[in-house]
Structure 1
Amino acid sequence: MARTNPAQFIQQVRVEASKVVWPTRKETVLTTIMVFIMASLAALFFFFADMIIGFGIDQILRLGA
């Protein structure tokens, strides 16, 4: 691996940083909304899955009582 001096390193960092494409405000807002929607859907799914599994286990345990 070739060693670079600090000045070359800073120059390379600036070149790479200039290639970064930042999302627009609209893209950021839309992505944030989609994350909240997907997190809510996942929470609802796991809530109902837990309720169904809990109900099933409760019914199985009542059979032995």
Structure 2
Amino acid sequence: MAKVSPGEFVNQVQTEAKKIVWPTGRETVMTGVMVVIMTTLLGLFFFGIDTFFGAIVQWLLSLAAGQA
């Protein structure tokens, strides 16, 4: 690994920082909206799956309690 002086390092960092392309405000808002939509859909999906399997477990437990 090549040794670089602190001044050269700062120059390299500034050069690389100039290459950064920040998203526009509209892109940021659209990405945020998509995140909210996807997390809501996933939350509803997992809520439904959890409810379904919870009902199955309750049904199986009621069957087991009736057998005793």
TM-score interval (norm. to shorter): over 0.9
Identity over the aligned pairs, expressed in percent?
48
Deviation >2 Å, runs of 4+: none
SS of aligned partner of 2:22? coil
Tell me the residue number matched to 1:63: 63
What's the CA shift for 1:23? 0.3
Aligned partner of 1:21 in structure 2 is: 21
What's the counterpart of residue 35 of structure 2? Answer: 35
Q: Alpha-carbon deviation of 1:44?
A: 0.4
TM-fit CA distance, 1:18? 0.5
- The 1-side partners of 2:55 and 2:27 are apart by 42
* Higher CA-based Rg: 2
**Unaligned 5+ runs, structure 2:** none
TM-score (norm. length: structure 2): 0.93
Q: How far does residue 8 in structure 1 lie from its aligned partner after superposition?
A: 0.3
Q: TM-score, normalised by structure 1?
A: 0.97
Unmatched 5+ stretches in structure 1 = none
Aligned-partner residue type, residue 37 of structure 2: I
What SS does structure 1 have at the residue aligned with 2:55? helix
